[in-house]
Amino acid sequence: MIFFISDTHFSHFNIIRYCNRPFSSKEEMDLTMIRNWNSRVKDEDTVFHLGDFCLVKSSEAPDSVKDNFMFIRNQLKGNIIFIQGNHDTRNRNKSVIESMVINYGGSRIYMTHNPKFAKPDFKWNFAGHLHEKWQFQKLGENSTIVNLSVEQWKYAPVTIGEIQAAYSRWIKSGVKDEK
């Protein structure tokens, strides 16, 4: 199975306030997202993480483990392919992938962290970065940007089928653009 997710920001306490996440502590947030992830993903599954994985040890979290990236990564099931987000340069995520194209579910999908780099010649553009702002946005007549930030998907990785079902509900609702 293949899953998609973005903007987990593991161990980042301030993201709770910035994005109105329903957690009282970074520990509660991390444990919930790890539990949600592992309840869906099997060891043999692939997860595309579209950026901003975790916070490295910082003044915000002086008691954090030495290598928070590996500490969190080692608790998650699946083969994770990391696309670099704007916060990943400081968290020991060594991914050099800025964008990627896959053929999946009968479609070519363009994946990048920031939706401002979406490409209108792709039916599907998967991105993150904007957290709670919107779930879907049209990009021209034949292209859609999907916001894979965890706030949009109940703090868990999602499948292409779940994305397509949510997209169908969005189209049926008559909402064509959320900004």
Q: How far is CA 132 from CA 61, 63, 175, in A?
A: 24, 28, 17
* pLDDT for the residue 69: 80
Portion of the chain with pLDDT greater than 90, in percent:
67
Residues 6+ apart with CB under 8 A from 4: 47, 48, 50, 111, 126, 148, 157, 158, 159, 160, 163
Q: How many CB atoms lie within 10 A of CB 20?
A: 10
* pLDDT for the residue 6: 96
Look up the pTM and report it.
0.89
* pLDDT for the residue 71: 87
Residue found by looking up tokens 């920001």 in the block: 9
Average pLDDT score over residue span 69-98: 81
DSSP for 30-72, written as a single string: HHHHHHHHHHH--TT-EEEE-S--BPPS-TT-TTS-TTHHHHH
* pLDDT 10s digits, 121-147: 999 999 999 988 899 999 988 999 999
- Which amino acid is it at 61? A
Average pLDDT score over residue span 32-41: 98
Q: For the chain, which domains are there?
A: 2-172 (3.60.21.10)
* pLDDT for the residue 94: 65
Average pLDDT score over residue span 94-114: 87
Residue found by looking up tokens 């079902």 in the block: 165
Average pLDDT score over residue span 21-44: 97
Average pLDDT score over residue span 23-44: 97
Average pLDDT, the chain: 88
* pLDDT for the residue 84: 85
Q: Check residues 27 and 68 and name the one with the higher pLDDT.
A: 27
Give the pLDDT band of residue 88 (cuts 50, 70, 90): low
Q: Which of 15-19, 49-53, 83-87, 90-94 has the lowest mean pLDDT?
A: 90-94
